[in-house]
Structure 1
Amino acid sequence: MGNSRAYPVFRTADASAAYTQAKRLCALLAECDDEVGLFAELRTVADVQQMAAVLPEANFDYAHTRTGPAGENAWFALDVTTADDASLEPHLPLNVMEDVPRGSVEERFVAALGQGVAAIDWHGLWPDEPEADQYGVAQYDGVQVVFHGDKAQLGRWTEHHTVFVHVTNWGDLPRAQKLATHIGSEVLGEKQLGW
């Protein structure tokens, strides 16, 4: 069990370039799940409205825990597709996390990103390469692009965007290096705890 290990293999200030390189890596997966995971932190009303246009059925929630008058957890309950600016403003920042059919909204999601941390996760299976003693493991394998971040587990805000390849829970540096080479890059740091 445990988590995958994620290796950073591409970093840029251009969100579209990061997405393009992530998609190039996804094309190398022997299998790719039918759904992708999307996450975005929305810091402004414009961010919320743009993302609501892309994901109108998604659940939007407070980015940080909030409590009501009696100390109970408060839940975000506005309909972001119809709420006006004045109604949304006091609730910021918001998060949205949604699994969507692969190929349905990813490009529009990238175009709608604001300045918050965001991510797209593609789970899949790297091809077996017995001659290199490398075998895909569906529980761990995949590609992730983190916008405005450099941590696979999502952390502090950065100006750049990072593409990760996820491999087995004990790590597979040779596979990560080979995948990085495919996009004209290299492994850019130590392995990190993945999904």
Structure 2
Amino acid sequence: MGNSKAYPVLRTDDANTAYTQARRLCALLEREDEVWLTAELRTAGEVRRMAALLPGGTFEHTRTRTDPETGRHAVFDLDVTTADDAALEAHLPLDINEDVPPGSVVARFASALGRGAAVIEWHGRWPDEPAAGHYGSPRYDGVQIAFHGDRAQRGRRTEEHTVFVHVTKYGDLPRARKLAAHIGGEVLGEPQLGW
């Protein structure tokens, strides 16, 4: 059990650069198992774009809401494909979450993002490098972009986008440095709690 260690290796105000460099890191994965997408949607237009892109995606309130009459947790249950803009706007901001196969809609997701926080996580396995003391860890390895964020776990919104490499729960600073160097970067601070 436990979480990966997430090392920030690139911070930029250009989302395309973050995406391109993250994909360069993904090319180093021995295998890419799954991709997890999430985004905070702030407008009805963003909700409609994501609904078209991810028809099976799960939409939910970004912040917990309660029913004013019962006090119970309010679940988002509108059909985003048929609801009008006014109905959607009453529920904003919304989050969308979806697991997708590698290489499917990920690039289109990245280009469809709005100004809200978003994350792409590529889960996989770094190759073993016994001579350097590095061993892949399929439960923990991967690459992540925090769009409009500087935390591997959801945090405050920023204007910058941060790329993270994830390694074993014990951390592997030498491997993180090697991965960062691959994209002309460096480890930008202490490891963070990953997935």
TM-score interval for Structure 1 and Structure 2 normalised by the shorter chain: over 0.9
Q: Per-residue CA shift, 1:15-70, capped at 9, x if unaligned?
A: 1111111110000011110x210010111112212211211221111111111111
Structure 1 residues 49-58 or 150-159, which shifts more?
Answer: 49-58
The equivalent of 2:38 in structure 1 is 39
Looking at structure 2, the residues matched to 76 and 146 of structure 1 have their Cα atoms a distance apart, in angstroms, of 24
Looking at structure 2, the residues matched to 83 and 105 of structure 1 have their Cα atoms a distance apart, in angstroms, of 24
TM-score, scaled to structure 2: 0.97
Looking at structure 1, the residues matched to 30 and 74 of structure 2 have their Cα atoms a distance apart, in angstroms, of 43
Letter in 2 for 1:94: L
After TM superposition, list the pairs within 5 Å mapping 1:83-98 onto structure 2: 83-98=83-98
Tell me the secondary structure at the aligned position of residue 38 of structure 1.
strand
Letter in 2 for 1:17: T
After TM superposition, list the pairs within 5 Å mapping 1:35-184 onto structure 2: 35-68=34-67, 69-184=69-184
Shift, 1:87, TM fit: 1.1
Tell me the secondary structure at the aligned position of residue 77 of structure 1.
coil
Show structure 1 runs of 4+ deviating over 2 A.
Answer: none
Q: Per-residue CA shift, 1:75-103, capped at 9, x if unaligned?
A: 11111122211111110010111101111
Looking at structure 2, the residues matched to 25 and 122 of structure 1 have their Cα atoms a distance apart, in angstroms, of 10
Looking at structure 2, the residues matched to 32 and 106 of structure 1 have their Cα atoms a distance apart, in angstroms, of 13
Structure 1 residues 56-65 or 162-171, which shifts more?
Answer: 56-65
TM-score, scaled to structure 1: 0.97
Tell me the secondary structure at the aligned position of residue 122 of structure 2.
strand
Looking at structure 2, the residues matched to 163 and 15 of structure 1 have their Cα atoms a distance apart, in angstroms, of 10
Tell me the secondary structure at the aligned position of residue 90 of structure 2.
helix
Shift, 1:190, TM fit: 0.9
Looking at structure 2, the residues matched to 59 and 167 of structure 1 have their Cα atoms a distance apart, in angstroms, of 28
Letter in 2 for 1:52: A
Q: Contact 1:56–1:81 (CA<8 Å) still a contact in 2?
A: no
Tell me the secondary structure at the aligned position of residue 36 of structure 2.
strand
Structure 2, unaligned runs of 5 or more = none
Looking at structure 1, the residues matched to 84 and 103 of structure 2 have their Cα atoms a distance apart, in angstroms, of 30
Shift, 1:11, TM fit: 1.0
Q: Tell me how many residue pairs correspond in the alignment.
A: 194
Shift, 1:156, TM fit: 0.5
Looking at structure 2, the residues matched to 15 and 46 of structure 1 have their Cα atoms a distance apart, in angstroms, of 20
Letter in 1 for 2:63: H
Q: Contact 1:145–1:161 (CA<8 Å) still a contact in 2?
A: yes
Looking at structure 2, the residues matched to 48 and 99 of structure 1 have their Cα atoms a distance apart, in angstroms, of 17
